[in-house]
Structure 1
Amino acid sequence: WEAALFGPALRRALCLQRCLGDRLGSPPGAHRASRAVRAAFDRREPYNYLQVAFFQLKKLDQAVSAAHTFFVANPQHLQMREDIEKYRRMSGVKSHNFRDLEAIPHWEAYEAGMQHYNADEYPQAAARLEESLTEAVSALEECRALCEGPWEDEEEEEEEDMQPGLYEAIAAHYIQVLKCRQQCVLDIATKPGRISAMEDFIPSHLDLLQFSYSQAGNQTLAAECAASYLLFYPMDEPMLEKMKEYRAVLGEDTRVAPRENIRHYIRRSLMEKKLIYYAVEHLGGTFNDPDLWTPDELIPENLKEKHREDQEKQKRETLDVEEREKRGPLPFEGVAVTVDSSQMNGTQRVVFDRVLTESECKDLLRLTEVRPGSSGEGYRSRRSPHTPHERFEGLTVLKAVQLAQNGDVDWRDVKLFLQASEKSRKIIQSYFTPGKKLHFSFTHLVCRTAVDEEQEGRMDLSHPVHADNCLLDPEGQECWREPPAYVYRDYSGILYLNDDFQGGDLFFTEMDAVTVTAKVHPKCGRLVAFSSGKENPHGVRAVSRGRRCAVALWYTHSKEHAEQERVKAEELVKQRAVQQDWHDGEERQGAVHKGRSSSELPVRSSRARPTSQAHKPGSEGTQRPKELRTRDEF
C-alpha cells in the first residue's frame, strides 16, 4: 500500500520540479518568498515606494496609479490619503490616472453587477454577476493551488526530541493544506483594503442570479441557479417555493439540474471538511469553518457542543437587544423623548429635548469663543477635514480644563461641559442599556462654520454618510466592523447648543447611503442618540450659513476603551476643588485672626501647603497660553 500511496506522490513531485525548473530556470527553492515578503506584497507595499519613485522621475500618471493601487488596499493610511488629495489638485492629473493596477476581476464584475441589480437592470446584472462568479471560481482554484507549498509552522520550533514522525508529519502537512484550501473562499470574498469577508459569497451569487434571470424572463436559467443554490441550503423555504413556481412555468416534466461545477465544488469541499474534522477530533488542533452552509451532521458530536454554545450566545445577545426595547425610565425631570425609533423609521435611535436650558447652552458656547493668543492656545479654527466649504473647530474636555488652568475660560463653564456630557451619558444609558454601564469613548465640543465666499454651487455634505463603529460599503450593502473604524463604540450622541445657522441637519439613511429615512434639526438642549453600528448610517447636511455647535459624544461598554483624557480632566477638576477649599479656608482663618498681635498668630503646620504652591502655573496676567491642537471627532 505504501507504493500505491507514495508512488504517485513522488511522480507528481518530480513533475512539479521539472515544470518549475523549465519556467523559472533555476531550482524552485530559490524562488520561494518568505512569509514576510508575501505579506508585504499582499499589502501592496511595493506600490508605496513606486509612487515616490515615479513622482521623483516626474512620471505623474504612473505615480498616481501606484498611489491609488496602494491606497485601495490600505484605506487607513493617512499619509497616502493626503498624497491622493494632493494628486487630485494637480493640474496634470486626470481622473483616469486613478487606476487600480491590481484590480481583481471578480470584484470589478461583482460591483458592476450590483449597480445594475440595484438599478433594476436585470439582464445586464445577470451578465456581470455571471462574469463575477466565473472569475471568483477561477481565483479560488488559483488560491487552492498556492496552498500546496512548504510546511509552515505557526508556532516556535519544537525541541529536537519533539519532532513528529513520518506519518504524523505527513498528516499535519496535509491537514494544513486542506485548511488553507478551505480558507480560500474567505480570500476571494474579501475586498482589497478589508479584513472581513463577505458571507456566503458563492451562494449569494446564485441567489442574485436566479432573481435577475427571473426578472429578465429567463425562467430556465433562474431555475438552474435556484437548484444550484439549494445544494448549499437544501431546506431553504423561500428558494423551495421559487423552485415550485419555476417548475409550474417550465412544466413538471422539464429536467432542472444544478450546475455541474457547483456540484463538484460542494462535493470536494465536504470531502475536505470531513477529513479536517476527523483530524481535529482525533489528532487535536482547531478549525474555523469558513462556510455557513456546512451540514450539521458533518460536525463531530464533541465539536457540536461548542457550536451550540456559540449559537446560544448569539441567541442571548438577540434577546438582550429585544429586552432593551422595553427601555428604562429617564433619570432627569423635564427631559422628554420627542421622537422615537419607530417615528424615525429605524432602530436604536431617539431624540430627547430639554436636556439643557437656554442659559446653559450660552455658557457652553462661551468655551468656543476663546481665540489663540501669542502662543496659539484657544478654540482654533481650521479647514474642515470633510469639506473645503466649512471651517472646523474642536475642543476636548482635557483641553477645556487646561484653558481654565491658564485663566482663558471660566471654571464654571468647564464644569458645565463635564456635567452636560455626563447627564447625556446617564440619559442614553438609562434609555438604551439600563443596568449595563456605558463608558465615555470620546467627548468633543465641535463647531462647523460656513465659509461665506465658498457656498455658491455647493453640492457636498458637512459630513459624508458613515457609521460610527464600522466601515460603510454602500455598493456591497455591508458595514465592515474592523480598523480603522472605532469598533469598540456602542452608542453615539449629539447634544446641540444652537440653531442660529442654515443647514446642518443630521440625517439617517439606509445602507445604500442614499435613501434618507429620518432627519433631525438641531436646537439648544436637543440630544439625538443612536447605536453606533450599521443599522444607523448617518451624515450631516451642509452648513450653508452661520456656525453650528454641538457636543459630540461616543460611548462604549468596554472599560478598556474608556476615554483617558476625560479621566485626567476629572482628576484635575477635583485637585482644583481641593486647592480652592484650602484657599478659602485660609482666607476665612485670616479674617478671624485679623487684629491679633504677632504673638497670637498661629504657627503654620509643616504639612500645610503654602499659598505660593497653591498658585496655579500660568495664571499670571502676562503669561500667554500654549497652542491648542484641534482634533477631528471622527
Structure 2
Amino acid sequence: MEGKVLELATIKDSIGKRSQPVDCSPKYAAETVNFPGCSPSRCGRLISDRVVTPHEARTLRHMASRAFALTGGSGGGASILDLHSGALSKGSAFVNVYRLPEAHDLLSEDDLRLYTGVKRRVAQLVTEHFGLEGGVLHLAKPTFFSRITAAPARTVHDQYWHSHVDKETYPSFHYTSLVYLNDYGSDFTGGRFIYNDKDANRTIEPKAGRVSAFTAGWENPHQVEPVADGVRFALTVAFTCDASQAISDPAHAGAAPSGPSR
C-alpha cells in the first residue's frame, strides 16, 4: 500500500535469523513441484547477519572495486561485475574482464576461495530455511556484484529502482539472495531493499555482511530505492532448481570461465 512502510531490518539490528513467511504464488508453486526436494516448505523471506562477517564483506567489496576501477564502471550509476561470464560494466556497454591485459592479477586464489565459500554458506542457509533437500540448489546466472551510485540513469539498464519479480526477469531463478557489502546511512543513503506487498512496503537497510534471501516468484515483488548519495555495493547470488540451468564457479584466478559474456 503506497505510503505505508514497515521495517524488516535496520542498520542497528544484529540479526541471527529473521524471517517472514508469505504464501507461494500459484505459478511458483506449480513450477517448483516439478523439481523433487526443491519446493519450499513455505515461501517467504529471511535475513541473517551471521553467515558472512563484516571483514569478509569488506574483502569482497575491495575485490569488486579493483575490477570496477579498470573500466570506471557504468556511466549511468548501476554497474555490474559477473565473474562467471566475465561481464564488467564499461560506460553503456560491457567488456569481458578476463580479456583485459591489466586484469591478469585481478583475483588471487584466496579471493576466489572466499567468493565460492560465501556462496556455499548462503546456499546452505537457503536450503535449511526453506526445507529443501541437500544438493538440489544450483548456482544460476546471472550471479554478480553490483555497484550503485547516485549518477542519473543513461540507459534502461540503469533503472534498477522499478518494482519487479525475479522469476519474470530471470526465468531460471527459484531462490535469490543478496550479500550486502557496505553500510546504509554511512557509506550511502537511499538504496534500501523494498518488498512491495499489498498492505505495505517492507524495507531492509543494507549492512556489511547481511544476507537477505527470498523465493523468486510472484509472491515477492521488490525494488531497490534510488541511491541518493555515496556508493552501494552488493553481491547477488541466484539459485535454480533446474540442473540444466546451472553455472560453474570460475576455475581459478585469472582464468576466464566458459561461456559468452553478456
TM interval, short-chain normalised: 0.5 to 0.7
Counting helix residues as a fraction of each chain, which structure ranks higher? Answer: 1
Alignment of 1:330-409 (within 5 A): 336-341=16-21, 347-370=43-66, 378=70, 380-384=72-76, 390-397=77-84, 399=86, 402=98, 406-409=104-107
| C-alpha distance after superposition, 1:97-152 (max 9, x if no partner) | xxxxxxxxxxxxxxxxxxxxxxxxxxxxxxxxxxxxxxxxxxxxxxxxxxxxxxxx
Give the superposition deviation at 1:461.
6.8
Higher relative contact order (CA 8 A, sep 6+): 2
Q: Give the 3 Å change call, closer, same or farther, for CA 399–448 of structure 1 in structure 2.
A: same
Contact 2:150 2:228 in 1 (8 A): yes
Counterpart code for 1:370: R
Counterpart code for 1:534: W
The answer on 1:440 being equivalent to 2:136 is no
Q: Work out which of the residue numbers 529, 534, 543 in structure 1 matches 2:218.
A: 534
Give the superposition deviation at 1:357.
1.5
Counterpart code for 1:520: I
Counting strand residues as a fraction of each chain, which structure ranks higher? Answer: 2
Please identify runs of 4+ aligned residues in structure 1 that moved more than 6 A. none
The answer on 1:561 being equivalent to 2:245 is yes
Give the superposition deviation at 1:510.
2.9
Q: Which segments of 5 or more consecutive residues in structure 2 lack a partner in the other structure?
A: 1-13, 23-41, 88-96
Which residue in 2 is equivalent to 1:504? 191
Which residue in 2 is equivalent to 1:450? 150
The whole-number CA distance in structure 2 between the counterparts of 1:496 and 1:505 is 11
Identity of aligned pairs, percent? 24
Contact 2:19 2:44 in 1 (8 A): no
The whole-number CA distance in structure 1 between the counterparts of 2:18 and 2:144 is 24
Contact 2:149 2:229 in 1 (8 A): yes
TM-score by length of 2: 0.67
Contact 1:380 1:630 in 2 (8 A): no
The whole-number CA distance in structure 2 between the counterparts of 1:335 and 1:521 is 12
The whole-number CA distance in structure 2 between the counterparts of 1:413 and 1:447 is 18
Q: Which segments of 5 or more consecutive residues in structure 1 lack a partner in the other structure?
A: 1-333, 385-389, 471-484, 577-615, 618-628
Contact 2:57 2:182 in 1 (8 A): yes
Report SS of the residue matched to 1:364: helix
The whole-number CA distance in structure 2 between the counterparts of 1:335 and 1:429 is 18
The whole-number CA distance in structure 2 between the counterparts of 1:395 and 1:440 is 13
Give the superposition deviation at 1:549.
0.7
Q: CA RMSD in A?
A: 3.4
Which residue in 2 is equivalent to 1:130? none
Give the superposition deviation at 1:354.
2.3
TM-score by length of 1: 0.30
Contact 1:338 1:353 in 2 (8 A): no
Alignment of 1:405-416 (within 5 A): 406-416=104-114
Which residue in 1 is equivalent to 2:205? 521
The answer on 1:469 being equivalent to 2:167 is yes
Contact 2:68 2:81 in 1 (8 A): no
Alignment of 1:116-515 (within 5 A): 336-341=16-21, 347-370=43-66, 378=70, 380-384=72-76, 390-397=77-84, 399=86, 402=98, 406-435=104-133, 437-442=136-141, 443-451=143-151, 462-470=160-168, 485-499=169-183, 500-510=187-197
Contact 2:86 2:261 in 1 (8 A): no
Give the superposition deviation at 1:412.
1.3
Report SS of the residue matched to 1:340: strand
Give the superposition deviation at 1:340.
3.2
Contact 2:67 2:81 in 1 (8 A): no
The whole-number CA distance in structure 2 between the counterparts of 1:466 and 1:447 is 19
Q: Give the 3 Å change call, closer, same or farther, for CA 408–394 of structure 1 in structure 2.
A: closer
Contact 1:490 1:557 in 2 (8 A): yes
Aligned positions, number: 207
Which residue in 1 is equivalent to 2:29? none
The whole-number CA distance in structure 2 between the counterparts of 1:496 and 1:469 is 21
Structure 1 or 2, whichever has the larger Rg, is: 1
| C-alpha distance after superposition, 1:291-321 (max 9, x if no partner) | xxxxxxxxxxxxxxxxxxxxxxxxxxxxxxx
Contact 2:175 2:213 in 1 (8 A): yes
| C-alpha distance after superposition, 1:530-564 (max 9, x if no partner) | 1111100000001011111111011111101112x
The whole-number CA distance in structure 1 between the counterparts of 2:64 and 2:227 is 17
Contact 2:178 2:212 in 1 (8 A): yes
Report SS of the residue matched to 2:80: strand
The whole-number CA distance in structure 2 between the counterparts of 1:508 and 1:535 is 10
The whole-number CA distance in structure 1 between the counterparts of 2:233 and 2:106 is 20
Counterpart code for 1:546: G
